[in-house]
Amino acid sequence: MSLIKILFLIAVIGHLICGCCDCLITYVPGGKKLDVTKMSDNKFLSDTFANMPLRNPLISMLAGCFALLMVACGYYGLYLWMSEFSKTYAVIILIADGILLAFGVAHHVFCGVSEWFYVQMRRTEEARQAIVKFMKDTSLTMIFCYIGMLTLGVVLFIAVVSGATSLPQWACVFNFIPAAAVLFLTRIGGASNWSGAFMFLGLMLLI
């Protein structure tokens, strides 16, 4: 197996781990699920997190950081592969990979920290206000994380569709953007990571 395929395999595993980490802070034991559209309703939020053990956001933070490093390895592999066809696309991928890793790790940790403190502070209205303010104040990490992700997906899509790579044009379906668009409709936790694993698995088999 080539180095590039090994890096893609590492990314597949990383995305699967990170997806599980997302689920740890999205789904609560007892069948409850976080609804970010209801963050202003502390009664709903407190009821949702009533059975959330503190270890869940803690594990999510720690394992998620390691998982995102594994994902970044995959995008570095994508940079190495793209370098054979277009230096411009490759450099954009490398820069976007750095943005995704730096801001993605911060955003993932901030999400876990917010839940940990909300539960630790007994899910009061004051706790809700504190974490909502914290998430708003650190929202740039989320914005730049998704800018990095979207840039990676768009560049890969354009490169494949335009025929700039050795892949057939139909291989553009192995991209996390269309996969995530479908999964987001299901409102499943960790959608971006399941779609990322799908993308790297497809690329690993095709390249």
Measured CA to CA, the distance from residue 79 to residue 201 in angstroms comes to: 16
The pLDDT tens digits for 20-54 are 999 999 999 998 999 888 899 999 999 999 999 99
**In this predicted structure, what is the pLDDT of residue 183?**
85
The pLDDT tens digits for 120-171 are 999 999 999 999 999 999 999 999 999 999 999 999 999 999 999 999 999 9
Mean pLDDT of 105-128: 95
Q: What's the chain's length in residues?
A: 207
The pLDDT tens digits for 180-201 are 888 888 888 888 899 999 999 9
**In this predicted structure, what is the pLDDT of residue 181?**
85
The pLDDT tens digits for 54-83 are 999 999 999 999 999 999 999 999 999 999
Checking if the pLDDT of 1 tops 80, the result is: no
**In this predicted structure, what is the pLDDT of residue 171?**
94
Measured CA to CA, the distance from residue 99 to residue 109 in angstroms comes to: 15
The predicted model scores a pTM of 0.92
Question: In 3-state terms, the chain is what percent helix, strand and coil (to 5)?
Answer: 80, 0, 20
